[in-house]
A = this chain, B = another copy of it.
């Protein structure tokens, strides 16, 4: 029984993440920056390859420079569950965003290997390469290559120093051969830190992810009439900024009132001409709306925009709305979510579900196979920051849940 193992594998996974946060595993001094295909990336792959081998895996690098460790199932060559996350980081980021999910995958295999266990399926642990897009002007190239959704022309890019992908060490001509087939990979599991405050606020270590939120992003421009801050009486102004203030509050109120997982954010705002003694003639701002389901997202977004139009009409302002992004949701597989809930219960954890507002490699893999994600609490919800922190006990609990998930998945595969 795998779950009975008393190896503190979760703590070891955390310690290994800690070990990867500095040279030679970081491209910078005094912090962690690990770009795709940099020397630090190669060094981290080398360390990871050693841990994979020690856990009983056969290790290879694929054509997209992903590191892949395979642990065979009961029958050699069986379809595999992919357990994955990313090895790259943002600039001056945290140690756990990505690597923790990979290393928990390695610990799952290490536990099975130590117990001499084989499951009715193989396990392939993938360390993806450029989830963050911190080096090249693209993101998630490698998981898109594996999922088969990457267009060849997406590879014609260079980093800020003009270094092309080819010069960085991968061959665009063979890159797409990293693609896997549904008959090879039957399911996908990713553990990841939450990067938000929800689990901490709920007092929970772990949660079943329902999917990657659908996202809408708008650029709004509100025009009124610029004027001298001293010579225009209040009654005669057509100042767009108080109107935009009402729109910002409408975004907050509508999203709050929806009382769902929907979130709405105005992150950028600019008044033009932008002088203290000039009434603005124009205000530009962004509106980002996300929710686990597209219909909920659209309901919230459209209600906010309706409020904005009302405000503009009431105040005699001109409102222009441009849709910048419209990304559909990437729901996790319902059966795998049920399995994850059961695994949480098996491991003595409360069952809790939450949506991921941020994107993950899982959203690409959903094109290949059913996906599941497990979120792990991180302190203060802080991520993309050196202050990122995960309690080893939470990683331990995550490992126990992942092992229980494997047991249940194995049972369900046996039952077929």
- Tell me the A residues contacting B by CB distance below 8 Å: 194-198, 201, 213, 215, 217, 227-236, 239, 241-242, 244-246, 248-249, 251-252, 255-256, 261-271, 274-280, 283, 286, 288, 290, 324, 356-359, 381, 383-384
Contact = CB atoms under 8 A, between A and B. Distances in A.
Main secondary structure of the interface of A (DSSP, over half): mixed
A269 to B, nearest CB: 5
B358 A196 contact: no
A241 B228 contact: no
B286 A263 contact: no
Given A242-B249, A249-B246, A276-B324, A263 B196 contact: no
Contacts of A290: 229-230
A234 B256 contact: yes
Contact of A269 (B263, B270, B383): B270
Copies of this protein in the assembly total: 2
A263 B230 contact: yes
Given A228-B384, A229-B290, A269 B241 contact: yes
A213 B276 CA distance: 16
Contacts of A256: 234-235
B245 A249 contact: yes
A252 to B, nearest CB: 4
A358 B228 contact: yes
Contacts of A263: 229-230, 232-234
Contacts of A280: 267
B196 A228 contact: yes
A245 B241 CA distance: 9
Contacts of A228: 195-196, 357-358, 381, 383-384
17 contacts: A195-B228, A196-B227, A196-B231, A228-B357, A228-B358, A229-B290, A230-B288, A230-B359, A231-B381, A231-B383, A236-B381, A242-B252, A246-B249, A267-B276, A268-B276, A276-B288, A276-B324
Contact of A267 (B195, B268, B278): B278
Nearest to A252: B242
Contacts of A217: 276-277
B267 A269 contact: no
B236 A198 contact: yes
Contacts of A381: 227-228, 231-232, 236
Contacts of A236: 196-198, 201, 381
Contacts of A275: 267-268
Given A228-B357, A265-B279, A267-B271, 19 more contacts: A196-B236, A197-B232, A197-B236, A201-B235, A228-B381, A229-B267, A229-B288, A230-B263, A230-B290, A230-B357, A231-B358, A235-B256, A242-B248, A245-B245, A249-B249, A267-B278, A267-B279, A269-B283, A277-B288
